[in-house]
Amino acid sequence: MSILVIAEHNNIEIKSSTLNTINAASKLGSEIEVLVLGSNIDNVSKEISSYQHVSKVIFIDSEKFENAIAENIEPVILSLAEKYSHILAPATTFGKNVMPRVAVKLDVAQISDIVNIESEDTFIRPIYAGNALATVKTKDTKKVITVRPTSFDVVAKEGGSGIVEQINLDIAESGVEFIDREESKSDRPELSTARIVVSGGRGLQSAENFKLISDIADKLNAAIGASRAAVDAGYVSNDYQVGQTGKVVVPDLYIAVGISGAIQHLAGMKESKIIVAINKDEEAPIFNIADYGLTADLFEALPALSTELDKLNSIEK
Amino acid sequence: MKILVTVKRVIDYNVQVRVKADGSGVEKENVKMSMNPPDENAVEEALRIKEAGKADEIIILSIGEEKCQETIRTALAMGADRGILIKASDDVEPLAVSKIVSKVVETEQPGLILMGKQAIDDDSNQTAQMTSALLGWPQATFASKIEIEGNIATVTREIDEGLERIKVNIPFIASCDLRLNEPRYASLPNIMKAKKKPIDIKSADELGVDVSPRIEHLKISEPPTRQKGVMVADVAELVQKLKYEAKVI
């Protein structure tokens, strides 16, 4: 049987989480079909059809799908569900919002946030904020799964030659009216896929002081992250949050500044390749997982770091 | 309007969870248990809606073993009116939980259901969405602001890209983010009062819901541990290490 992947996109660009999810699907079978629901998505659909492993793209172009309302997406997936053994979506707020609706209507227990695939019915997923890994085997014949994007590489954007099929389906009016969306605009790399992340915590003490973080991020071409404490305090907006209830990041370099290292924060960054911690409290738990630790007042260390980085002229852009 | 709030008893968020040596699960003996943190936000939000005169009764629902009554009592001490415990083994999957909640909704007829967005033990993030689909009520997940005017609610949702606002009609179901509000502490008089508030106890069987698990946990293991690295003396040494040892900048 084939595998269905639900594409995440914003009608213009395809989110990299879609590429990670297609890769996860390729470990389950060779017939991979991608469902694209959106408005004015001819280009998006065509682009996905050329991705590695994709054998078919199914799309519906309708204003009803412009804002990814879960109630509108669910009936489309259900109408197609019969022919697939597995239905996969990324474990992003998009996938988390939609997939449990599909699972319950199919009377299937969803497997959330998988990080590894053992076989077609056995998966590994983190529980307790990643303090334990569960190997789970489902008894359901149809599998509804969300995939942790950072645990699977992206597929190549070329090499596939999937067919593209437009379908139509009448969807009943949902009880949800979209009002608006407030997205943080930034020229920096996207937090969840950046090669370098510089994160600030409560130690920054104010939104104003986060400039010290952005200055370093600019010099390293890094994304900016934050602990929950920093977001709760209003230093930066919610989309910067790294951790159990925020984003999971796996950069080559993660620099944690003024972050003590609560288990909930570690859940979102402890798989990073190299971790640097800068904290004035030498007892801070973040030092236990850091490859390089510096006990220092961040208000002295960050300007010094900025100067040192200026001295290096070979920073990758 | 009645508000139904679901609460889950979980290992306290401050506890360092330990995996059992035999791989059968995590250590729960003599471990502090508490209400799932975002469920506290759900209880708090219900209290604020009631205090604003927009609801007249708050019902707390928990599903699990006998001891979940303690978690219900915590919510009653915060100010909720009465509790319902549906007895079942303590690892009921979200699929079965959503079926149980739907059954309770049939009898209680609330206008609003509030849940935490995710339980910090199994991190599934499914129950509100499943319940919404079963009931055919609109869902407002990951809510960080809920404004109710008459029959209409405007909900601000925390999404990966930032914030999104949607409008839904009552009845609806919201899953609450930790930033929705600051949960209150129960006062001593309220803790005493809560002891007299009623908790209705039923079993999942009585509701006719099959709670047998669909997912088998073959093994629970420790994640790979990181070695503690080195402490550097100053920023200059740090940059040298990152450049020439780790080669990441």
> Are A175 and B141 inside 8 Å of each other by CB?
no
Q: Which of residues 244-263 of A touch B (CB under 8 A)?
A: 244-245, 247, 252-253, 263
> Are A293 and B232 inside 8 Å of each other by CB?
yes
> Are B117 and A179 inside 8 Å of each other by CB?
no
**Residue B90: pLDDT over 90:** no
Per residue in B32-41, pLDDT tens? 999 999 999 9
Residue B200 to chain A, least CA–CA distance (Å): 27
The alpha carbon torsion through B119, B76, B138, A74 (nearest 10 deg) reads: 20
Q: How much is the ipTM here? A: 0.96
Mutation pick from B151, B159, B172 vs chain A, by most beta carbons of A within 10 Å, is B159
pLDDT band at B10 (very low <50, low <70, confident <90, very high): very high
Residue B201 to chain A, least CA–CA distance (Å): 26
Domains of chain A listed by start with CATH number = 2-166 (3.40.50.620), 191-311 (3.40.50.1220)
> Are A177 and B168 inside 8 Å of each other by CB?
yes
Q: Which residues of B touch A175 (CB under 8 A)?
A: 137-138, 168-169, 172
B43-59: average pLDDT: 98
Question: CA A196 to CA A309: how far, in whole Å?
Answer: 14
Q: How high is the pLDDT of residue A313?
A: 64
Q: How high is the pLDDT of residue A317?
A: 47
Helices within chain B (DSSP H only): 37-51, 68-78, 94-108, 127-135, 188-194, 204-207, 235-240
Task: Report the residue from A129, A231, A290 with minimal CB separation from B120.
Answer: A129
* Ranges of chain A whose pLDDT falls below 70: 313-317
Topology of the domain comprising B2-220 = Rossmann fold (3.40.50)
Mutation pick from B22, B27, B129, B219 vs chain A, by most beta carbons of A within 10 Å, is B129
Q: Which 3 state secondary structure label does DSSP give A254?
A: strand
Compute how many other C-beta atoms are within 10 angstroms of the C-beta atom of residue A100: 33
Q: Which of residues 198-217 of B touch A (CB under 8 A)?
A: 213-217
Closest by CA to B104, choosing from B200, B211, B8, B212, is B200
**Residue B124: pLDDT over 90:** yes
Higher pLDDT, B196 or A172: B196
Q: Where are the domains of chain B?
A: 2-220
User: Between A and B, how many residue pairs show a Cβ–Cβ distance under 8 A?
Assistant: 260
Model pTM score = 0.96
Task: Compute φ and ψ for B164, nearest 5 degrees.
Answer: -135, 140
Mutation pick from A93, A145, A228, A247 vs chain B, by most beta carbons of B within 10 Å, is A93
> Are A305 and B239 inside 8 Å of each other by CB?
yes
- Percentage with pLDDT > 90 across chain B: 97
Q: Is A141 on the interface with B (CB under 8 A)?
A: no
Any idea what the Cα angle at residue B104 is, between residues B103 and B110, rounded to 5°? Answer: 120
Q: How high is the pLDDT of residue A206?
A: 97
